[in-house]
Amino acid sequence: MATAENIQQTIEHLFRHESGKLVSVLTRIFGPQNLEMAEDVVQDSLLKAMNTWKFNDIPENPSGWIFAVAKNKALDIIRKDKRHGGFAADISHLLKSEYTLAPTVNDLMNSSDIADDQLRMIFTCCHPSLSPELQVALILKVLCGFSVMEISRAFLTGNDAIEKRLYRARQQLREEKIEFEIPRQEELTRRLEPVLTAIYLVFNEGYNSTQHADLIRKDLLEEAMRLCELLCRHPSTNNPNVFALQALMHLNNARTESRLDGHGNIQILQKQDRKLWNWDMIRQGLQYLDRSAEGDQLSRYHLEAAIVAEHVFSPDYAHTNWNNILRYYDLLYQLHPSPVIALNRAIVVSEIQGPQAAINAIQEIRGLNLLRNYYLLPATLGELYARIHNNKEAIKFLREALDLTYSVSEKKLLKDKITSLSL
């Protein structure tokens, strides 16, 4: 009999890996105007699994079990709806008769086209009538199973703001009768960018978790790369920017095993054991990077992947080509002049010109106040002031960073630094 912990872990795994598929195929049946209904069916199915498996153990095919429960719930909802006009317009006539209802739902939920349904779901969430912040919040919630708190951390904003965004997004899907489709080629490029942004946010949450006990969440890393692979394989979306993002995620994920020691302590890049890097994944990342160069597009993902590749090409930290990396950051800032990119650029400046130059660069960042709740700002300043032996300022900033992070591993790293500077 499975333990409560095993059941919880299985449910969490299914939620990450199957909820997006389920919501997508249910939205294909119910229509985008009933997105919340599809989400509720998935939530109820997972809740039923949790309550049932406590007594009957986890089935051999838990994913199939969840799909079967969701299918039956969908059939019940349709049968209780006497109008049958409120579901997906193109199949509503097939839902009116009992002779065609069950076969239609069975066919859609067992179809090999579920990957296409997920792409339709991605682009429905990122419809141009929705603002970019609504698009990204919706795709994180619907396709990736993010909690409201996880999304709020990704956006550096409050839970209430995210709840309002999700409500407005669902309302627009209903009121504007947005279709469940992959856009035509002329629209696709414009609508692809928020999709890539959302996928990258999923990856970043897995790479450096904001609220989970574990700093690294491999399930989210895998989910982000899986979603991107859907785009890489589909002939409508396999363009250079998509390949560049997949390259970036592969090259970063390849270093995962070296980022924590055997006791769960964070290992900064300078101290990482490069023998622990996943060189097969690095080779795959470099192959995606080569494919990303086949067009004339240059995106932030190309430049960020090139930055990570410089670390991969260096035999050790001491031989890192920081001048190349600084040039990439300069180009990146021209493309996306954000304070976060400027902060990362300042860290590179410290390697070339020293910590005081980096402090000066940080103080000159435009929109620095936007990073007031971003723990890496005071954490970086604390490290820089420690390097110029101004321990008082260093401790002040490190304590500020300590109050801003939810990560257990990051808190321990910061506390250890504060202790060493206080001696």
Residue pLDDT, tens place only, 164-197: 999 999 999 999 988 898 888 778 888 898 889 8
User: Residue ranges per domain, the chain?
Assistant: 321-369, 372-423
Q: Tens digits of per-residue pLDDT, 12-62?
A: 777 777 888 899 999 999 999 999 999 999 989 988 988 888 787 888 888
The total number of residues written for the chain in this structure: 423
The one-letter code for the residue type at 340 is V
* Beta carbons of 155 and 202 less than 8 angstroms apart: no
Give pLDDT, residue 54: 79
For residues 200 and 194, give the distance between their C-alpha atoms in angstroms, rounded to a whole number: 10
CA distances from 46 to 31, 108, 265 (A): 21, 20, 34
Return the C-alpha torsion angle 416, 373, 211, 115, nearest 10. Answer: -130
Q: What is the largest CA-CA distance in the chain?
A: 79
Q: Is pLDDT larger for residue 136 or for residue 196?
A: 196
Indicate if the pLDDT at residue 211 is higher than 70: no
Reference 192, options 240, 254, 126; nearest CA is 126
Indicate if the pLDDT at residue 106 is higher than 80: yes
Give pLDDT, residue 275: 93
Give pLDDT, residue 98: 85
User: Residue 260 forms beta bridges with which residues?
Assistant: 266
Give pLDDT, residue 191: 86
Give pLDDT, residue 96: 84
Contacts of 49 (CB under 8 A, 6+ apart): 11, 14, 62, 65, 66, 69
Indicate if the pLDDT at residue 84 is higher than 60: no
Residue 228's pLDDT band (cuts 50, 70, 90): very high
Residue 255's pLDDT band (cuts 50, 70, 90): very high
Contacts of 299 (CB under 8 A, 6+ apart): 240, 241, 244, 245, 335
Summarize the confidence of residues 248-261 as an average pLDDT. 94
Q: How many CB atoms lie within 10 A of CB 260?
A: 16
Contacts of 272 (CB under 8 A, 6+ apart): 255, 258, 259
Indicate if the pLDDT at residue 2 is higher than 70: no
Start-to-end CA distance of the chain, whole Å, equals 52
CA distances from 190 to 184, 196, 237, 410 (A): 11, 11, 11, 37
Both tokens of 135, joined, read 């698009």
Contacts of 67 (CB under 8 A, 6+ apart): 18, 22, 109
Q: Tens digits of per-residue pLDDT, 293-325?
A: 998 889 999 999 999 999 999 999 999 999 999
Per mean pLDDT, which of 155-164, 186-195, 252-261 is the most reliable? Answer: 252-261
Backbone torsion region of residue 156, taken as left when φ is above 0, otherwise alpha when ψ lies between -120 and 50, otherwise beta = left
Give pLDDT, residue 163: 93
Indicate if the pLDDT at residue 210 is higher than 70: no
Residue 69's pLDDT band (cuts 50, 70, 90): very high
Give pLDDT, residue 82: 60
